[in-house]
A and B are shown apart, each in its own frame.
Chain A
Amino acid sequence: MPEPIIFELSAPGRRAGGHAPASPPAADFPAQYLRHDEPLLPEVSELQVVRHFTRLSQLNYSIDTHFYPLGSCTMKYNPRVCNRLAMLPEFIERHPLAATEHGQGFLECMYELQDMLKAVTGMTAISLTPMAGAQGEFAGVAMIRAYHDARGESDRREIIVPDASHGTNPATATMCGCTAVEIPTGPDGDVDLDALRRVVGPATAGIMLTNPSTLGVFERQITEIADIVHKAGGLLYYDGANLNAILGRALPADMGFDVIHLNLHKTFSTPHGGGGPGSGVVGVNERLAPFLPVPIVGRDGEQYVWLTEADRPQSIGRLSAFMGNAGILLRAYVYMRLLGADGMRRVSEFATLNANYLMKRLQMAGFEVTFAERRASHEFIVSLQSITKETGISAMDFAKALLDRGFHAPTTYFPLLVPECLLIEPTETETRQELDAFVAALVEIRDLAYKSPDTIQAAPISMPVRRLDDVRAVRQLDVVWQPDNDPTE
C-alpha cells in the first residue's frame, strides 16, 4: 500500500496543537490586501505528521541504511556529532544581521575554517559564501572574468572544458557570459595536450579541470597543462569534486591552479540531505584574491569581523542574501577538527585503498575496467558495453538490479564518453565486507544477464515502486496534487 499524499490524510478542522498562538487579534488591513480563501494545506494531527514522514523516510536508500557508491558524489558517513554541534541552540538562534559582537563564537569557527581550507588546498585566500558546487563554479568563472576585465582583456571569454567534465562546467561558463570550448580526452584518460594547444589563444579566459578527473584517474600532465594555459594568458580553475582522493597528498595550488571550489558535502562530509544544501567554498591565489566574493571573515585585533564590499572594492560581490550555508560550514568545521591533519590523510588513504581494491576485485571477476592500466583514484569506471552487446542488459538494468540487492546504484552514464558505464566510488568509510558483498552482487547480476535476462530487465521488484514511466511524467505533467486527479486513470 503506497503512503498516501499528506493532503489525503486531512480532515476539516483537525490540527496539531500547541504550535501557533492561541488567540491572535483579527486582521486590521484594508480589504484590498487580504486573501479571500484559505490556502489548501493539510489538516492533520501531529502523530499523523510524524508517522507520514517517518514512513516516507523509510522509502529512501541513504548512506545510513545502504552502501551508496555513487561516483563523483563522495557518499561517505556523515558523523552524527557534526549535526548535533551545528544545531546547538546558540548557533541556530543567531540572527545573520546581529552585530559581530554577538557572533564571536560562530565567527571564530568560520575564521579557522577558512585557515584550514587554505592549508588543504595551498590557496592564499578563501571565501565561504557559495552555497553549492555549481555556485562555487559561478564564483570562480566570474572571478576569472573580472580578472581579465581588470587587465583590459575583455576579449577573453572562452572557457575550456574536457569532454569528460561535469555538466555544470559548461553551464556555468554560459551563466557567466562565456563560451565553453570542449577538448577531447586521450586514450589513457589524460587530457589531449595537442588538442589543448590548438584551442588556447587570445580568447582563452581559462580552463576548468577536475583532478583526479571524472574518469577516476589523476591527470599526470597537470603541470604541462598549467604551462600551456598560463602562457596563453588563461587561468586554471580546479573543480574540487574529487579532492577526497588526494586530501593531504597533493595541493591544487602546487599543480598551478589559480582558483578552486570545494564541495564540503563531499570531502568534508556535510550531509547531502536528499539533494542539498551543499557548500561550494572557493579559494584563490594572490592574483585573484581581490575578486573573492564577500562577505569574508577577517580579524581586527582580538575581534572577528566581516570583510565586505567596502574592504574589498574589486570583489565580484555577494552571491547570497547573507553568507551562504552557514550551518553546513559549521558541520564541515567540526568534521575537520575531528579528523585533524593525520585523519585527513587517512581519508585519502582509505578512499584510494577501497577504490583500488574494489576495482581489482571486479577486474578479477571479469568486469571491464576502463583504465585498467592506471591506478584508480577514489573512484573508477566499469564499462558494461560488451555485456550489453551480448545480453541486451544495460548499465541502467544493472543499476536497478543492484537496488533489489540492497545497494544504491553507482553513477550511471557519466562521464558521457564511456558507453554503458558505472562510475563507482566506495569512499573510505566502507568495510571490506561491504565491498566484497557488492562484488558478489554484480557477479550475480551478470550471471543472470546471460542466464535469464528477463529477471534483470524486470528489476527492481523489491522496491516501493518498479520502473517508472518517465515519458508519462513529462507528457501528463502532474507536479501539484489535485483532489480529483487519480494518476492511475
Chain B
Amino acid sequence: MLSAIGVADTETLFDEIPAALRINELNNIPAGMGEAAITRLMRSRAAKDAGVVSFIGAGAYEHHIPAAVWDLATRGEFYSAYTPYQAEASQGTLQVIYEYQSMMANLTGLDVSNASLYDGATAFAEACLMAVRSNRKVNSRKILVSRSVNPVYRTVARRLTEGQGIELVEISCRDGQTELAALDGLAAEEFAAVCLQQPTFLGTLDDVDTLTDWAHAKQMFVIAICNPMSLAILRPPGEWGAAGADIACGEGQPFGIPVASGGPYFGYLVCRQQIVRQMPGRIVGRTVDIDGKPGFTLTLQAREQHIRRSKATSNICTNQGLMVTAATIYLSLLGSDGLRRIALQCHANTKVLAEKLGETDGVTVMFEPFFHEAVLQFDRPVGPLIKALGQQNILVGYDLSADYPELGHALLVCATEMRTAAEIAAYAAALESVMSSSKVT
C-alpha cells in the first residue's frame, strides 16, 4: 500500500502537519488491554454500584424491559447504521421511525411526531423555541412555565433559549397544582405559550383543561410535557380543554430504555399539523418509488441545518435513533393494554408506598390525586434520612428541598411496577426504625 502511494513509511503521510505541532506519543493514556482484561475491570467497577432498591423517579423510571427489546435493537443492522441519508439502503431504520412517529401521535392525540430529540429536557427547550417561531398571533418572546414543570427542564430550557432572547416566566403553584389565581396577574402581558406538565413533576394532576382554555383565549400556544407512560390512562394532550394542546414533548425513557445513569434516553416532540414546518429534527415520510412501490424517506428537510445553515429551525443533526428503535419495539410488545396495566400498577404501588410511609410518625402525604409519584412531608430534613437508608441500600426518593423550599422537608417517592410488596414493606420498616431512633431536635 505504501508503494502504491509512493511513500517510504506511514510517518511521511503526516508530513503536512507542521513539525512544531507533531507529537510522537500520547502521554497519560494507559496501555491497551485485551478483551478478557477489560471485561474483568468493568465487572469489578459495575459490582461497586450493585445491590440497591430504588424508589427514585423524578424524571427517570425503572420499568421492566422485555428481553426482545435490546436483543433486536442491538442487531448490527440497526446498531451500526447511520442517519438514513441513502433512503434506499436505510428502509429498515426509516420504517421504524415512521412506526414510532405513528405511535407517538396516537398516544398524545396530536398529528405529527418528529424522529426524536436528545432527551426530555432538550425536547422541552426545542418546544419553547418552536412555539415562539410558530405562534404568529402573538408577537412575544416570553413563555409562561408552571412551577410544577421539572426544575431541570426549566433550567435547561433557559440555557438553550436565552441566546435567542427568549424569557421563561414562572407561574406559581399551590397544593401541587398550577395556581389559577396567579393567572389574573398575568392577564395584561402577552406570552407566546404556556407550558404545563401532566402529571406534574410532583406527581400530581393539574387542571390542564382550564389552563389550556385560558391560554387559548389569550392566543397563547399550549406546550404539554407528559410522561408518555401516563398517557395509557390519562387524557392525552390533544384532548386538553376545548381545542387540545398545540405541542407535546417529554422524556421517552419509560418506553424500554434503562435508567442507566441518565442516558442515552430520547426526547419526543409532537405537534398539530399546521405548525409542522417549524418543527426541529428529522421527520420521516412515506412516499412511493419510481415504480410506484411504497417506501420511506427523510422529509421536510428544508427546515434543517444541512440545507438552511444559519437559518435552520435548530442546529440538531441527529435523533436518538437507537433509543427510538428500542421504544418502538417496546410499544409493539406492550400495546395499549400492556401500557395501561403498567401505568395502573405503578399508580397502585405508589399509593401503597405513600400510605405505608405516611403511617410513620412525622411523615405526611402531601397531595392527592397523584399518578406514580407522591410528595411526603417530613418533620425533619430529608438529607440525613437519604443517607441513613442509603446505607441499607434503599434509595428513598428525591429530596425536593432545594427545588421547592416552600414545601418544607419534602421527598418525592416513586414505586413503579418493578417494586414488590416486600421491598415497600422493607422501606417502611427501615424508615420507621431510623425516624424513631433519631427524634427531631
Contact = CB atoms under 8 A, between A and B. Distances in A.
B337 A20 contact: yes
Contact of B315 (A6, A42, A168): A168
A29 B205 contact: yes
A60 B87 CA distance: 9
A91 B49 contact: yes
Interface stretch (B189-197, B211-219, B260-268, B353-361): B260-268
A57 B41 CA distance: 33
A236 interface: no
Interface string A177-218: 111100000000000000000000000000000000000011
Given A254-B21, A360-B4, A120 B95 contact: no
Given A34-B234, A277-B323, A318-B155, A478 B286 contact: yes
Nearest to A9: B332
Contacts, number: 642
A427 to B, nearest CB: 12
Interface in A461-477: 463-470, 472-474, 476-477
A119 B29 contact: yes
B103 interface: yes
Contact of A26 (B21, B44, B68, B344): B344
B72 A53 contact: yes
Given A38-B340, A95-B395, A320-B118, A131 B310 contact: no
Nearest to A323: B262
B272 to A, nearest CB: 12
Contacts of A477: 112, 276, 285, 299-300
Contacts of B205: 29, 33
B45 A105 contact: yes
A73 B32 contact: no
Nearest to B262: A322
Contact of A20 (B75, B289, B317, B341): B341
Q: What range describes how many residues of A lie at the interface?
A: 35 or more
A24 interface: yes
A357 B29 contact: no
Contacts of B282: 275
Contact of B83 (A16, A85, A275): A275
B146 interface: no
Contacts of A38: 336-337, 340
Interface string A311-352: 000001111111111111000001011111111110011001
Given A49-B332, A468-B288, A326 B261 contact: yes
B137 interface: no
B22 A465 contact: no
Contacts of B99: 5-7, 481
B144 to A, nearest CB: 21
A345 B294 contact: no
B88 A400 contact: yes
A322 B60 contact: yes
B106 to A, nearest CB: 4
B342 interface: yes
A83 B342 contact: no
Interface string B160-174: 101111000000000
B128 interface: no
B122 A319 contact: yes
The residue in A29, A58, A409 that gathers the most chain B C-beta atoms within 10 A of its C-beta is A29
A81 interface: yes
A124 to B, nearest CB: 12
A157 to B, nearest CB: 10
B315 A172 contact: yes
Nearest to A84: B39
Contact of A63 (B80, B92, B345): B80
Contact of B335 (A42, A460, A487): A42
A389 interface: no
A65 B317 CA distance: 24
A333 B341 CA distance: 38
Interface in A114-145: 115-116, 118-120, 131-135, 137-138, 142, 145
Question: 4 closest pairs, A vs B, by CB?
Answer: A322-B262, A340-B32, A64-B76, A273-B322
